[in-house]
Structure 1
């Protein structure tokens, strides 16, 4: 991880990530860090945001990481910080695979093509 650039304090502790999550400016701070450190030699899409955490800013990387739903990959604890300021975890931030599957199964009928078409007039 040492070869990936980022804010110096982020290399030492996860507390800055937690602080900026609760203060509501986590996304802006990451964007600034990508602009400042991401244009270097290694890769403009990867920065270090914690002692053991990297951040990627391209959709192609997300596809590669999350391609196989059956892979034995556990989400990192930092996912808990995504919705921390909201007071509850969303389907995106749930770490437990079974809990995620349950929530996805419950929500999926609402996002079927027919259900979305039925709601179209409400959006207009």
Structure 2
């Protein structure tokens, strides 16, 4: 079995924005919205997954926190933080949770070197509502 991180053999990943692109610069302004359908999907996965759930967003939410991290989403993360994981802080090279797709590309962390830790809900305090 190939391990994707030092301390987890499997995890689920959810996307904050349901648009598909390998480059966030290609996202349109209308992509930066809180999608209620995507929220229901994220909520279902977080509450029902048998594996820990990795949610990261990198710099994507900068200057858009009131839209992308509304109160109901913050509450979901706080209520379920025991089911959530993120890259270990000293490896993330920043105070925001890295999105899995960018860990290798920007943080230069190879999948075999990832160390995942419980999601730190205190991070939400850094984002204004």
TM-score relative to the length of structure 2 = 0.29
Higher helix share goes to which structure? Answer: 1
TM-score, with length taken from structure 1? 0.29
Which one has more relative contact order, counting CA pairs under 8 Å at least 6 apart?
2
Larger Cα Rg: Structure 1 or Structure 2?
A: 1
